[in-house]
Amino acid sequence: MSDMSKLEEMCATKSDYSEDLVNHPSHYTKGDIECIDAIKASMDEKEFIGYLKGNALKYLWRYEDKGGVQDLFKCLWYLNKLISQFK
């Protein structure tokens, strides 16, 4: 089992929720619009990149004190989103 699979399993077993709180939390969607898409639409490319970097740093910064492994997955989500801006 890969390290990522182990982390995903740990995160899933510690969660009391059946929804995906990292990749698609329901509280960030209104109708067909996801919050991240509305944020992106309100910014230029440079601003959105800064937003993604800031959120990745936030989750990495606090994971030991607040969200644990789930915050590391959130950090990874923002890093992947950031990387996708350069593809």
pLDDT in tens, 11-49: 554 444 477 888 877 877 878 889 999 999 999 999 999
What is the domain count for the chain?
A: 1
CB 74 within 8 A of CB 51: no
Domain that holds residue 59: 44-87
Answer yes or no: is 4 within a domain. Answer: no
Q: Which two tokens stand for residue 81?
A: 């989103």
The answer to pTM > 0.75 is no
Could you tell me if residue 11 is inside a domain?
Answer: no
Residue 57 lies in a domain: yes
- Are 70 and 21 a contacting pair, CB within 8 Å? yes
Q: Does any domain span residue 29?
A: no
Asked whether residue 30 is assigned to any structural domain, the reply reads no
For 25-29, 50-54, 78-82, which range has the lowest pLDDT when averaged over its residues? Answer: 25-29
77 assigned to some structural domain: yes
Residue 78 lies in a domain: yes
> Does residue 8 form part of some domain?
no
What burial class does residue 52 get, using C-beta atoms within 10 Å of its C-beta: 0-12 exposed, 13-18 middle, 19+ buried? buried
Report pLDDT for 6.
Answer: 53
